[in-house]
Structure 1
Amino acid sequence: MLITRAFLDLDEGDAERARPRLEQAVRLGVEGYDHTTVSAALVALAHVALAGDDPKRAAELVGTADALRGMPDLSFPEALDAERAARAALGDAAYTAAYRRGRGRTFDDVLEEFGITRPPAPGGVLTRPSGGRPDA
């Protein structure tokens, strides 16, 4: 709901109203270990960056959103719009460089940027990669 409302704010030309909603969406996504929500909020923040005439930041945010999601989300038109606008403003080479910087970021980098402490693992249990054994 926060992300949808933020996109409505952006449509109304109010990027500054959208920003705190999106920062809250990032925090809630982190608390729920919901990388999809965090990624969507980062894409929306890329639109905020574009509204503030910062296409380099927008490209980095799109890259970070893709990194958290694991791949570009071709079904999310707002992500494609942010990419197109940032690429048009920067040119292919500068866009690619900024996107790669963002793509190299991790979940922990996002936590640091937004001043969020890593929440405990869901259920208070440490998670392991599939196939991992607790006694290994």
Structure 2
Amino acid sequence: MPSITLANLSWSTPDGRPLFSSLNLSFGPERAGLVGRNGVGKTTLLKLITGELSPASGTVSVSGSLGVLRQSVQVTLDETIADLFGTRAALATLARAEAGEASAEELANADWMLEARMAE
């Protein structure tokens, strides 16, 4: 089952202002929202979860896959939502399977529930 667990997570800004100290949180497969005033650490927390930043102390454990859709998205003309979620290749495999053009290896490795999860 997918999950995100933060254990004793601590992080401070470069000037030494603590944002998190001994933070313990767990998220299961359900949807969760992160709400707060500007500057309280929402983006920093997401960067710690994705591994973009390293915690000063504590651990971040992620099981399952993690997708992030940024608030400010810069796309090129040929990009789609599938590109933003990193699923273009997997959706192309499903399209080839549907058309009867996928290889046996592609069929064995296809993520058959991808479209349903994306729709959800």
With the length of structure 2 as denominator, give the TM-score of the two structures: 0.26
Q: Which one has the bigger strand percentage? A: 2
With the length of structure 1 as denominator, give the TM-score of the two structures: 0.24
